[in-house]
Amino acid sequence: MVSLTVEDFGVHNEKKVQKFTWHAEGGMTVSVISYGAIIQSIKVPDCFGVTKDVVLGFDDLDGYVNRNTPYLGATVGRCANRIGNASFEIDGKTYPLAKNSGKHHLHGGLIGFDKVVWDATVSEAKVTLSYYSKDMEEGYPGDLVTSVVYELKNDHTFHVEFIATTSKKTVVNLTNHSYFNLAGHDTGAQEMYKHRVVINADRITKTDSDSIPTGAFTDVEGTPFDFRLEKQVGEGIVSGKNLFDDNYCVNTSGTEVLSFVAKALHPDSGRYMEVHSDQPGVQFYTGNSLPSPKENAIVGKSGVGYRRHGALCFETQKFPDAVHHTNFPSAILTPGEVYKHRVVYKFGVNRNNKFGGPTVISA
């Protein structure tokens, strides 16, 4: 049986923040906080029985409020990733947005979903966090009611479901922005480079120098972006090249199972993580914007300094800047429709250090 505990995690803008922790058989635990609907901790045993926290984050609320510029563990929205030139048009009307990434818009704006306290309800082992985003909040049209449902199961699968409805046509593209290092959150780039990764995608969306999609696609075959067969992430990165921050176009299954998106394995510990989702894309990111060795580190859990390439992100999503490209899956949500986005993270250990095939997870 999975057990769930609830504790206070501080107060933000006069609203109580809660921390929810699941305990599964075999020693895995997951903690989520209601500020930012953030995944605060994921602790997983390795092949030697040693349990470590495998996501970057903070021990207290102050860290998330005042130091979380990289969106560690956060639910980001109303639109994750980038919107070119910080504006979009719906039905002939232009909606300007905050320019918080150069001249572009990133992860929902100045006060996105990662910077608010969500309302919480608990039903057995499920936690539902809900947020009401008012019409024109951060420039987006429509009252948007959003929920994120979290549940850890005994098979060490962590289930996340995003649900949203709107009163006006709007842009919605939600994701979770956890930074994973399967060697442990405190082990840094040296161990991140060792991770072997597979990504189930033949193409990436081509981008310009500002990481804004052009509308074209690039085949990964014969390029450093090809992770269709397992490859060590550190190949190329250690020389300063191939700093991955790209949207991969997932080869979706179109069946009654969630599509296999990606898998990462840390060989020394044997820990692995699979990602399964119903979304058409995944942003594979190697923490390039975390502080360099010459800069002050972000001080995270247990006083650990987080630096560049200290972790990996797999952000399941609609394609970035989809509102400007008719050949991309649409990110427009219309009144009467329900936005749904499911992602499952499967954790385990591989004692023989073999990569193995993906798990089948029902939709």
Query: What is the set of domains in the chain, with CATH numbers?
Result: 3-349 (2.70.98.10)
pLDDT of residue 289: 93
Report which of 131, 120, 128, 135 is spatially closest to residue 166, judged by C-alpha positions.
135
pLDDT of residue 363: 67
Annotated binding residue 327: no
Strand pairing category for 196-199 and 175-177: unpaired
Is residue 276 within 8 A of residue 283, CB to CB? The reply is no
- Beta bridge partner(s), residue 75: 176
Annotated binding residue 81: yes
User: Which pair of tokens denotes residue 265?
Assistant: 């394995």
pLDDT of residue 238: 65
- Beta bridge partner(s), residue 338: none
Is 309 a catalytic site residue? no
Alpha-carbon distance of 143 to 169, in angstroms, equals 10
| Phi then psi dihedrals of residue 332, to 5 deg | -85, 130
- Exposed / middle / buried, residue 156 (Cβ in 10 Å: 0-12, 13-18, 19+): buried
Annotated binding residue 296: no
pLDDT of residue 150: 98
pLDDT of residue 255: 74
Report which of 307, 257, 247 is spatially closest to residue 277, judged by C-alpha positions.
257
pLDDT of residue 287: 95
Annotated binding residue 46: no
Annotated binding residue 181: no
Is 266 a catalytic site residue? no
Q: Which 3 state secondary structure label does DSSP give 153?
A: coil
pLDDT < 70 regions, the chain = 236, 238-242, 353, 363
Annotated binding residue 53: no
pLDDT of residue 240: 58
Strand pairing category for 157-166 and 144-152: antiparallel
Q: Which of 191, 315, 325, 341 is catalytic?
A: 315
CA dihedral (327, 328, 329, 331) positive or negative:
negative
Q: Which of 177, 185, 276, 309 is catalytic?
A: 177
